Chain A
Amino acid sequence: MNGYLIRRLLTLPALILGITLISFLLLNFAPGDAAEITLRRQNGGIAAPQEAILALRRELGLDDPLPVRYVRWVSGALRGDLGDSYRTGNSISAELARRLPSTLLLASVSLALAVAVGIPLGVLAALKRGSSLDVASRLLALLGAAVPSYVLALLLMLFFAVKLDWLPALGYGSPKNLALPALALSFGVMAQLMRLTRATMLDALGQDYMRTARAKGLSEAALVWGHALKNALIPVVTVMGTSAGQMLGGAVIIETIFGWPGVGQFVVVGISQRDYPVVQGFVLYLAVVFLIVNLAVDSIYRWLDPSLHFGRQPA
């Protein structure tokens, strides 16, 4: 296990470096000149004279060759400096750090909601196979795969905020503000987890070890929740790594809809204003978060199934 973790930790920097390279290269293809955009902002939207642009280009080091600029950016990023926003001139790292807790709060509450509802529902659907509950769960799974979070978000907003006036449509700070965005974000993943749990649970219930456990005289509850579920959860946990990523991605749209002050909203504004350093910093930041989440998921795995030999998993 330790050897595995160490190996994983060693590949992390390589992966993150790869991500920075991709985002840096993409940015290099992007239209628009950093010096020109910065000057235009400082001058209140008026185009700056050519000499001023050239001078600033030299000052910012934009005329240096690509590898030089890449190394400069990466060494800055290593020291926690992602540069300044073209739009506001503020430090991007500081802004991301200020906003990350909001995004993580939204994503983690949504994931917790999806797990807390999806997995028990999946177990029940498997236990009562063919019942109306099972049929309802299948319908829910179909809906969850077809209704995108942004449509659900707008529907929730329409009914609970505009029509019924139960919950606020926009804002941040209280649990009431969290309800609608979390619900919108969790629905798709919830349906996915439910469907998968149902399938793996059905599979586990038919295994030999269940018969053995039953022969030992274990209670039905211990059989289901202790034996079958623990084994059924292994594939579910795998998917949860992806789900966490999905949450972080979906959060970008959901935050924009509900005015949630997270990193997603920040980057969407950055994109619409062609604020490239913000986009670049965001990609790096989320890459790091995502890799850490994946590592955590792999560790949960290990706890659930000690027989797994890491590093030699079948493809």
Chain B
Amino acid sequence: MIESSLQRLRARPSIPRRLRRFLGDPPAVLGFAIVAAAVLVAALVHLLPLPDPTELNLQDRLLPPSWQFPLGADHLGRDELSRLLYGTRTTLGLAGISLTIIMGIALVVGGVSGYYGGWLDTGLMVVDLLLAFPSLILGIAVAGILGPSLMNVMIAVSVVWWAGYARVIRGMVLSARQRGYVEAARAIGASDHRIVVYHIARNILGPFVVLATLDMGWIILGIAGLNFLGLGAQPPTPEWGAMLNDSRSYLQTAPRLLFFPGAAICLLVLGFNLLGDGLRDLLDPTTYPR
């Protein structure tokens, strides 16, 4: 009862009102459209009538765009459009799985450390200090030592990113724990489990989603960067960073091989950034109205 009246006091905007506000923010809608399109392509690309992205046809190498090859053929005669679209699955998939791993670890470690404190809290601070190093260098080192593979790229990205996340979650839980509603819930005898799940989790969900969306851009850049260095996808797997690396030898003859994957990476990152900014404005009442 206390909980519901407190919520009424805080007068959250209703879902339709929030939706209307979101739709009134064109950059955010654009971001949502880009991200949604990329997710759809990644999920359904195998249903599209595309040639095999790994099939070599050396007589077609570096062919310019035509009806047969809408974006031309790459240096091994593979269909560029098909590789680009299948590449969405590789790049976005890697980023999505990495983000899930990171969030999982960070939620547990950050949550427990923020709620209970103690030695775990100290331990987290030490790990965080160690991981304060430039993430790309650390990612390159980890992926380099483990050897080039898609799996190791995900491991490298997760190892590098989880601690920073855990610290943010810890901060959110810590500040949520000191709020009146948690105290109120404890006063009426709620268990730790109930407080964490019903009170704290619900209140940090919004900022958490914003953070994850904004960070997706960084993760994609990092993953494409590792692949660009040859640390991830091995031929013939289509992946944007690896495609960019392949294009380097053909800057003179076929610069489009640079443009397409380059534009794809930038567009997807831009999409996540715009969507994240929009969601932040939406969930944070202090930034509205601007």
Contacts and interface: CB of A to CB of B under 8 A. Distances in A.
A binds B: yes
Interface of A: 15, 18-19, 22-23, 26-27, 29-31, 142, 145-148, 150-151, 154-155, 157-158, 162, 245-246, 248-250, 252-253, 256-257, 267-268, 270-272, 274, 276, 279, 282-283, 286-287, 290, 294, 315
B137 to A, nearest CB: 4
B147 A279 contact: no
23 contacts: A19-B133, A26-B142, A30-B147, A142-B273, A142-B274, A145-B217, A145-B269, A146-B267, A146-B273, A151-B244, A151-B265, A151-B266, A154-B262, A158-B251, A245-B134, A249-B134, A252-B137, A253-B229, A267-B144, A268-B140, A282-B141, A286-B133, A315-B171
B229 A268 contact: yes
A283 B141 contact: yes
B147 A147 contact: no
**For the complex of A and B, 9 pairs with smallest distance between CB atoms:** A271-B144, A249-B136, A249-B134, A245-B134, A146-B270, A151-B262, A249-B137, A146-B269, A148-B221
A120 to B, nearest CB: 24
Contacts, number: 118
A279 B130 contact: no
B111 to A, nearest CB: 17
Given A27-B145, A30-B146, A279-B144, A15 B136 contact: no
Contacts of A30: 145-147
Interface string B250-282: 011001001000100111011001100000000
A19 B129 CA distance: 10
Nearest to B259: A155
B130 A271 contact: no
B126 interface: yes
Given A246-B136, A249-B136, A271-B231, A148 B265 contact: yes
A248 B279 CA distance: 32
Given A145-B269, A146-B217, A19 B130 contact: yes
Count class of interface residues, chain B = 35 or more
B232 interface: no
B206 interface: no
Nearest to A163: B255
B146 A283 contact: no
A296 to B, nearest CB: 15
* Residue among B129, B138, B241, B265 having the largest count of chain A Cβ atoms under 10 Å: B138
Interface string B205-218: 00000000000010
A26 B145 contact: yes
Nearest to A151: B262
A4 to B, nearest CB: 16
Contacts of A286: 133-134, 137
Interface of B: 126, 129-130, 132-138, 140-147, 171, 217, 221, 224-225, 228-231, 241, 244, 247-248, 251-252, 255, 258, 262, 265-267, 269-270, 273-274
A12 B224 CA distance: 32
A248 B266 CA distance: 22
A89 B247 CA distance: 33
B32 to A, nearest CB: 15
Nearest to A159: B255
B248 A257 contact: yes
Contacts of B146: 26, 29-30
Contacts of B145: 23, 26-27, 29-30, 271, 276, 279
Contacts of A155: 258, 262
A93 B145 CA distance: 19
A39 B146 CA distance: 21
A94 B217 CA distance: 38
Nearest to B144: A271
Nearest to B133: A290
Nearest to A188: B221
B251 A157 contact: yes
B266 A147 contact: yes
A142 B217 CA distance: 11
Contact of B147 (A22, A31, A145, A287): A31
B229 A158 contact: no
B228 A253 contact: yes
Nearest to B263: A151
A203 to B, nearest CB: 13
Contacts of B133: 19, 245, 286-287, 290
